Amino acid sequence: MVAAEKNFYEVLGVKDTASTDEIKKAFKKLARKHHPDAGGDETKFKEISEAYEVLSDKEKRKEYDQLIKYGAFTGAAGAGSRGYSQRGGSPFGWGGAAGQGGWRTATSADGWGDILEQIRRGEGAFGTEWDFPQPAAKGREVQVTLEVTFEEAFKGAEKHVTIKTGDGEKQEIDVKIPAGAVEGGKLRYKGKGGAGSGGGQRGDLVIVTSIKPHDLYSRKGADVNMTLPISVIEAMLGTQVVVPAPDGSRVRLRVPTGTQDGKTLVVKGKGAPRVKGEGHGDLNVKLQLVVPKHLNDKQKQALEDFAQASDTSASDIRPLISALVDDDGQNSTGK
């Protein structure tokens, strides 16, 4: 025996003379407040749902009003204090099993079938017209790659770009590329990313810089690398070469006598600005020895005379290899 503590009109907070529209309006207001998806109390939500299920149906409400008239519910206006015994489950209809009085259990015929069908259609328990408040959530972070030239990354630049946030929106933004920007560097713009939900703020926009290849220079952090071809004669006798620095200035390099292929000359402070910190990186100039592919007779004769005049032997140039080769040109280990 379960006695109802409140009647359905009291649950919805309406008078027993309320119209269907007033009942519906009251239910919507309470449902928004107590719906579990909105952080409400599930028990309270079930209670107001049961009340609305009965009072929104003309025939069920008529039968329910008769019960109130005869004091079926404690606290009913104008009724006695007799308790009402519920049989057969939730009080959604009059009748019950054959030969029994009282309320019967709600079935799809009582209205829940429509709600379940709405759920199956993806409309939610109360159809598409409902707009339950959602918890505020910050929008997602949007990351895009922005390609810049070597010069833009070296000296810095400002670019007006249009960014697609991924949720159908476009953001126009002025991007300030800092001097010395590096490959893979990140620029963060707060509130320029994906839209938030439930009144939440927008996410952040992260722009990742990608530096286009340059014909002469390459970057490694703040250091700038370049290759300088030199002739065999320049490497042997030494020379001076003027090269362009990435900042637009000119640098005179001294190539020492007897320079070997692959030697790197370092020019301090001629690299890119350091984004974090002070000063600049270095300019690293790698020397590349260029051997002529074709010689005229005069050049050949000069080189043969040079070879005869040289006191450098193969064992001096290739000591480790020469130690493994005999006088006949055979590997000593292969005898």
Residue 133's pLDDT band (cuts 50, 70, 90): low
In this predicted structure, the answer to whether residue 228 has a pLDDT above a threshold of 90 is yes
- For tokens 């598409």, the residue is 128
- Over residues 278-295, the pLDDT tens digits come to 899 999 999 999 999 999
Residue 317's pLDDT band (cuts 50, 70, 90): confident
Which residues touch 265 (CB under 8 Å, ≥6 apart)? 228, 253, 255, 284, 285, 287
- Over residues 165-214, the pLDDT tens digits come to 767 788 889 999 999 999 999 999 998 888 888 788 989 999 999 999 99
In this predicted structure, the answer to whether residue 126 has a pLDDT above a threshold of 60 is no
Using only C-alpha atoms, what is the Rg of the chain?
A: 44
In this predicted structure, the answer to whether residue 87 has a pLDDT above a threshold of 60 is no
C-alpha–C-alpha distance, residues 86 and 102, integer Å: 7
Domains defined along the chain, listed by start: 8-120 (1.10.287.110), 142-211 (2.60.260.20), 217-290 (2.60.260.20), 297-334 (no CATH)
Tell me what pLDDT residue 3 has.
Answer: 35
Lowest mean pLDDT among 160-174, 286-300, 307-321: 307-321
Token digits of residue 271: 């690299």
Tell me what pLDDT residue 109 has.
Answer: 40
Tell me what pLDDT residue 329 has.
Answer: 54
Residue-averaged pLDDT of the chain? 79
C-alpha–C-alpha distance, residues 256 and 225, integer Å: 20
Give the mean model confidence (pLDDT) for residues 90-107. Answer: 38
